[in-house]
Chain A
Amino acid sequence: MNADAIGSAIGRRTRSASARTSWATLTNVHALRGVAGVVGFIVLWQLGVLFHVPVLAKVPTPVDVAGAGWHVLHDPRYYVDWLISFKRVFIGFVLAQVIGVPLGLFMGWKAAFRYLTFPVLEVLRPIPPLAWVPLSILFWPTPESSIVFVLFLGAFFTVLINTVAGVRAIDERYVRAAISLGATPATVFRRIILPGALPAIGTGMAIGIGITWEVLVAAEIIAGRNGLGYLTWEAYVAGAVPTIIVGMVSIGIAGYLSSLLIRSVVARAMPWTRRT
């Protein structure tokens, strides 16, 4: 090994060691701040209701919500709701990837195909998933398929647009270099286009999963049988305000967990983007 290599190897080791210690402390500090934020939010909410802050007049207190939550937690149907909502979101999301990612890759790669398909997709894209609800009820045979379809739409366009942009952002030098080195178009696609677009695909996935959860309540109102979205709606119909909030918080937590999962899967698939 020469001096250049040794020097930078040593530099890297010390840098990553110090990075590790500070990272651990930082994570603790970040986690503590997070907990403090949640506690602070709940306290402000409780005080706001107690002191009759105008906007919060009809809002149940966190204590009421905790009571309703305790009740809901003892109802086995609640866990079925979780499973059912997760299943719907999962199916809608996976379908959006299975169709959106290959379509986006191909649109990004072949300009002719992009010009052919782009106008249609650009008109369909701004239509919010909720505007699809009436048509999807008429269009799909079962309520379940309507729900999954609306969830699918929520993630589909985000993933598609991000994938197309990801392919187009790949530096021409990489493609040129690969062709020079004797790569066939299939090899260029598999080893340059696909990994090159992966960071953008990952971003699309993380945003897309969030949107599917956002759309969930509306989608489950269509079917009106079960799910976390339906739980929220049913509580409203029954006038059980604390339970509405239990449903909302459940959806929030479910969405957050899904994003965490997606992010960690995506990061695992792209070891070259790691900082250390």
Chain B
Amino acid sequence: MKPALGRLAVSRVSKAFEDRGGAALVLDHCSLELEPGTLTVMVGPSGCGKTTLINLIAGYERPTSGEILLDGRPVNGPGADRLVVFQETALFPWMSVLDNIAFGPLARGTGARTEVLERARTLLGKVGLRGFADRYPRQLSGGMQRRVELARAIINEPTLMLMDEPFRGLDAMTRELMQEHYLRLFEERPRTNLFVTSELKEAVFLGDRLLVMTQKPTRVLRAIDIDLPRPREFHMLTSARFREIYEEALVALHGDGGPTLVRSS
């Protein structure tokens, strides 16, 4: 069941940063639209403006020009309706795992303390960390920390989840485990997700739609619909349809003869 809310419209957004002797244009009239309850994955050359775009949508930074609307309302600053999960975890080291997850609802005063803690516990079980409630983040492995981070975002029921390379740097097995937990949480309760990754295979496996971005100044080069059925399962990685989409994305990313790669200075 798709939710009614969670339509993101980024229209003609540009972002320039002050640079030595001028302004460096990172985003140039970038436009994209996310449908409520869909998982959109963004790939592009490393160093292009993906993280900048995430920061703009999260409200950490303001666009130089253009407009970002979430369900018709302009984005003016950070808010619990748009939560970011970063590649480096930002779990509070001085709070137990459970307190970390319960932080958002308690800080905003939504729900009684016992009820919030109960929900946090349930969610902790869903990411496979039942029994780790009283640990401190540093006592967990990297993969476990990122699952706590995921739970800490989801408990707030944001209309939009921004995933900025959240599984980067994890070993292959842990990464697959994370993908599984992430997919299960998404498929159980779809909400709008924008997922940045540099792994094309991961992108096609997770997403409903794939956005291939250009070099700086960044724009959407191509949008590819991924029509693999849900729930996604690992055996789909070897299906013919997966390969077709993957190759289409590869060509879009690198160009036919790879001119985009060669041109990068």
Which residues of A pack against B, CB within 8 Å? Answer: 1-2, 4-5, 8-9, 12, 171, 173-174, 176-184, 187, 191-192, 195-196, 198, 270-272
Q: Is there contact, CB below 8 Å, between B128 and A4?
A: yes
**Cβ distance A189 to chain B, nearest Cβ, rounded Å:** 12
Per the bound structure, the CA–CA distance linking A195 and B136 in Å amounts to 14
Is B92 in the interface zone, CB < 8 Å from A? yes
The listed residue (B88, B137, B141, B177) touching A8 by CB distance below 8 A is B141
- Establish whether residues A177 and B90, one from each chain, have CB atoms under 8 Å apart when the complex forms: yes
Q: Known: A1-B128, A2-B128, A176-B60. Contact between A181 and B156, CB under 8 A?
A: yes
Name the CB-closest residue of A to B136.
A272
Question: Counting CB contacts under 8 A, is B10 at the interface?
Answer: no
Q: Are B128 and A5 in contact (CB under 8 A)?
A: yes
**Other-chain residue from B79, B92, B130 in contact with A182 (beta carbon distance below 8 A):** B79
A137 to B98, CA, bound (A): 54
Inter-chain contacts of A178 with B (CB < 8 A):
92, 103, 107
Does residue B104 face the partner (Cβ distance < 8 Å to A)? yes
Q: Which listed residue, B80, B86, B129, B156, touches A5 by the CB 8 Å rule?
A: B129
Q: Which residue of A lies closest to B99 (CB)?
A: A191
Q: Which residues of B are in contact with A by a Cβ distance under 8 Å?
A: 58, 60, 78-80, 82-84, 86, 88, 90, 92-95, 103-104, 107-108, 128-132, 136-141, 143-144, 152, 156, 174, 177
Q: Besides A8-B141, A198-B94, 15 other CB < 8 A contacts? A: A4-B128, A4-B143, A173-B86, A173-B90, A174-B90, A176-B90, A177-B90, A177-B92, A178-B92, A181-B107, A182-B79, A191-B92, A191-B107, A195-B95, A272-B95
Question: Is B132 within 8 A of A5, CB to CB?
Answer: yes
Least distance between B181 CB and chain A CB atoms (Å): 9
Residue among B84, B94, B139, B143 with max Cβ neighbours from chain A (10 Å): B94
Residues of A within 8 A of B103 (CB): 178, 181, 183, 191
Could you tell me the distance in whole angstroms from the C-beta of A78 to the nearest C-beta in chain B?
Answer: 43
Given A2-B177, A12-B139: A180 and B92 interface contact (C-beta under 8 Å): no
Q: Once the chains are docked, how many angstroms separate the CA of A274 from the CA of B103?
A: 22
Query: Within 8 Å CB of B84, what residues of A?
Result: 180
* C-alpha gap A171/B108 in the complex (Å): 22
What's the Cα separation between A274 and B133 when bound, in Å? 17
Residue among A182, A198, A272 with the most chain B CB within 10 A? A182
* Chain A: CB-nearest residue to B78: A180
What is the bound-complex CA distance between A184 and B83, given in angstroms? 16
Contacting residue for B83 out of A173, A180, A183, A195, CB 8 A: A180
27 pairs from A and B in contact (CB 8 Å cutoff):
A2-B128, A4-B128, A4-B143, A5-B129, A5-B132, A5-B144, A8-B140, A9-B131, A174-B90, A176-B90, A178-B92, A180-B80, A180-B83, A180-B84, A181-B104, A181-B107, A181-B156, A182-B80, A182-B104, A182-B108, A184-B107, A192-B92, A195-B95, A271-B136, A272-B94, A272-B95, A272-B137
Query: Nearest chain B CB to A182's CB is how many angstroms away?
Result: 4
Expressed in whole angstroms, the Cα–Cα distance for A195 and B82 within the complex equals: 26
Bound CA span A270–B152, Å: 22
> A181 to B58, alpha carbons, bound, how many Å?
11
Expressed in whole angstroms, the Cα–Cα distance for A183 and B106 within the complex equals 9
Contacts of B93 in A (CB 8 A): 272
Residues of B within 8 A of A187 (CB): 107
- With most chain B CB atoms within 10 A of its CB, the pick from A2, A173, A177 is A177
The complex places the Cα of A186 from the Cα of B138 at a distance, in Å, of 26
B132 / chain A contacts, CB cutoff of 8 Å = 5
Residues of B within 8 A of A191 (CB): 92, 95, 103, 107
Taking the closest CB of chain B, its distance from the CB of A6, in whole angstroms, is 10
Closest A residue by C-beta to B128: A2
Chain A residues positioned under 8 Å from B90 (CB to CB):
171, 173-174, 176-177
Complex partner residue of B88 from A4, A173, A180, A182, CB under 8 angstroms: A173
Return the chain B residue nearest A184 by Cβ. B107
Closest-by-CB residue of B relative to A171 is B90
Cα of A182 to Cα of B108 in the assembled complex, Å:
6
CB B164 to nearest CB in A, in angstroms, measures 12
Chain A residues within an 8 Å CB radius of B79: 180, 182
> Contacting A270 at CB < 8 Å: which of B94, B140, B156?
B94
Q: How far is the CB of B166 from chain A (nearest CB, A)?
A: 13
Report the minimal beta-carbon distance from A178 to chain B, rounded to whole angstroms. 7
- A195/B94 contact (C-beta < 8 A), A180-B58, A271-B136 known: yes
